[in-house]
Amino acid sequence: MPALVLLGAQWGDEGKGKATDLLGGSVDYVVRYQGGNNAGHTVVVGDQKYALHLLPSGILTPECTPVIGNGVVVDPSVLFSELNGLGERGVDTSKLLISGNAHIITPYNVTVDKVTERFLGKRKIGTTGRGIGPTYADKINRVGIRIQDLYDESILTQKVEAALDVKNQLLTKLYNRRAIEAGQVVEELLTYADRLKPYVADTTLILNDALDDDKVVLFEGGQGTLLDIDHGTYPFVTSSNPTAGGACTGAGVGPTKISRVIGILKAYTTRVGAGPFPTELFDEDGEALRRIGGERGVTTGRDRRCGWFDAVIARYATRVNGLTDFFLTKLDVLTGWEEIPVCVAYEIDGKRVEELPYSQTDFHHAKPVYENLPGWSEDITKAKTFEDLPKNAQAYVKALEDMSGAPISAIGVGPGRDETIEINSFI
Ligand code: GDP
Ligand code: IMO
Ligand code: MG
C-alpha cells in the first residue's frame, strides 16, 4: 500500500498528465488501466513539452516503473513510435511493463472505427478514429487479439480469421470496402512480437507484490468520468471505464488496496467530440477560454468545446468514483474575468435539479443555473501557497470545493511541474 487512482472528473483533458507527472517522483509504479492512444496527455518539464498517448505519464520519471495494464488497448505501431520519440529525446523507456492480457488494436479495428463514423454521418460520436471502440467490442465479443497471442502463430492466425469472418462481410456488403486479408494482418502483427517481448509481463502479479511490499502505485486514468461507457453521457462516450472501478479490473488489483481517488478537475469545462454539454459557450467567453487555455486536442488537433465550470458534473464525479480529493487545474486561465459564472444546478423542463439526471433525454434538455462569482486580475502563475492567491481566487476555489463534495488538495496555476499549489499531500 498505498494505491492511488488519478482520473478525469469531467470529459477528459483536465490535466491528468501533468498531475501524474508531478506525483511521479514519489511513486514506484504508474499504471494505465484503460483506454489507448485516444488519450493525449501533455507534460511540461522545464522547457520540454511531451505529448503522451499510450504510455503512462510516469515514463518521464526515471525512478518510476511505467505499466500498461490488461484493461488498455494497445496499437503496437503507435507504441513503438512513442517509444522511439522518447528515446530520441534521451528518455529511458526500458522499465516499461505491458500486460500480456492487454488487447491489440489491429489495423482492421482502426478501419472499422473510421468507416463506422462515416456511416453514422450526422449521428457520429466524433471518435478519435484510433480503433478504440471496435477493439473493445471485439474483446467483449470474445474475438479480440491479445498481446500474448503474438507468441503462438497458430492461435493468432485462427483468432484473426475468426475476427475477420464477420468484419469482412460488413466491410464488403455494408460499407462497400475491400475485404481485409487475414494472412497480411497476421504477418504485420508478427513483426511486432520480438520487440514487444521484453516488456511483456504478468503485471497483476508484479503490482500486487509491489503493494504487499509497501510500494506506491498510481493508477492513471485516460479520458474522464463523463466519457465512461457505464457512467458517462452514453452513447457519446469512449468504450472503456475511466472511473475508479476501472482501475481494479484494468490492472487486476482489488478495491481494498485503493486508499485514495483523486479527481482531476479543470476550473472550467471542455469537451471534444459530440454529445451534450450544458455549460458550453458559443460566444466570445468560450472563444477566450479556448484561446487562453490552449484548448486544442493533443491527439486529433480538434478545437475543444469550452464552457463554464459545472458543479453538478463535479458532484457526480465525486459520487461515482468515491473521490477523496480534487486536483483543480488551469485556475490561471480564469484570470482577468470580472465575474465568473459557475453552474450550480440545472433547470430541466422548468424544474431545478441538483444532481445529474440519469435520463439522457433530460440531460440533453438541461439548462445551467448560474451563480456569478467575483473574478480577479492579478497574475497567479507564481503563487506557491493558497494564501498567495488573490482573495477572490481563494473564494472561487472554496466555492468549487463546497459544491463539488471533496477537498481540493492541489491547484494548477500553469502547465509546468512547479506551477502547482499543494494544499494536502497526496502520498
Ligand atoms: P490530460 O489529457 O488530462 O492529460 O490533459 P491534456 O494534456 O490533454 O490537456 C491539458 C492541457 O493543460 C495541457 O496542455 C497541459 O499542459 C495544460 N495544463 C495542465 N495543468 C495546467 C494548469 O494548471 N494551468 C495551465 N495554464 N495549463 C495547464
Ligand atoms: P484524454 O486522456 C478528451 C472522446 C472523443 C469522442 C469519444 C469517443 O486526453 O483526456 P474514442 O476514440 O475514445 O472512441 O472516442 O471520446 N475522447 C476524449 N476526449 N480527452 C480524451 O482523452 C479522449 N479520448 C476520447 O473525442 O468524443
Ligand atoms: Mg488529453
Q: Is pLDDT at 329 greater than 60 in this prediction? A: yes
What is the distance in A from the centroid of ligand 3 to the CA of 172?
A: 35
Average pLDDT over residues 80-85: 97
What pLDDT was estimated at residue 355? 97
Domain count, the chain: 3
Reported as a single tens digit per residue, the pLDDT across 240-289 is 999 999 999 999 999 999 999 999 999 999 999 999 999 999 999 999 99
State which H helix or E strand residue 103 sits in: strand 103-104
User: Is 280 in contact with 255 (CB distance < 8 Å)?
Assistant: no
> Any idea which ligand is nearest the CA of 270?
2
Domain CATH code at residue 381: 3.90.170.10
pTM over the 0.85 mark: yes
**Residue 210 DSSP SS3:** helix
Choose one of 140, 166, 194: the last residue of a domain: 194
Choose one of 158, 176, 194: the last residue of a domain: 194
Where in the sequence is the domain holding 113, given as residue range(s)? 103-194
Positive or negative, the CA dihedral 128, 417, 317, 336 is negative
Shared domain check, 240 and 272? no
Q: Which amino acid is at 79?
A: L
Residue 330 belongs to some domain of the structure: yes
Reported as a single tens digit per residue, the pLDDT across 183-196 is 999 999 999 999 99
User: Is 331 in contact with 342 (CB distance < 8 Å)?
Assistant: no
Count helices and strands in the chain by DSSP H and E runs: 12, 20
Residue 427 belongs to some domain of the structure: no
> Any idea which ligand is nearest the CA of 14?
1
What pLDDT was estimated at residue 24? 87
What pLDDT was estimated at residue 1? 57
Reported as a single tens digit per residue, the pLDDT across 355-388 is 999 999 999 999 999 999 999 999 999 999 999 9
Choose one of 262, 282, 317: the last residue of a domain: 262
Query: Would residue 41 show up in a list of annotated catalytic residues for this protein?
Result: yes
**DSSP string computed for 338-351:** SEEEEEEEEEETTE
Catalytic residue among 53, 139, 231, 266: 139
Reported as a single tens digit per residue, the pLDDT across 282-308 is 999 999 999 999 999 888 889 999 999
Decide the pairing of beta strands 217-220 and 3-8: parallel
* 171: β partners: none
Average pLDDT over residues 106-117: 96
Reported as a single tens digit per residue, the pLDDT across 392-415 is 999 999 999 999 999 999 999 999
Alpha carbon distance 252, 246 (integer Å): 10
* 8: β partners: 264
Q: Does 126 contact ligand 2 (Cβ within 6 A)?
A: yes
What is the distance in A from the centroid of ligand 2 to the CA of 212?
A: 34
Q: Does 278 contact ligand 2 (Cβ within 6 A)?
A: no
Average pLDDT over residues 314-328: 98
Q: Does 12 contact ligand 2 (Cβ within 6 A)?
A: yes
Reported as a single tens digit per residue, the pLDDT across 40-51 is 999 999 999 999
Residue 117 belongs to some domain of the structure: yes
What is the distance in A from the centroid of ligand 2 to the CA of 46?
A: 27
Alpha carbon distance 211, 216 (integer Å): 7
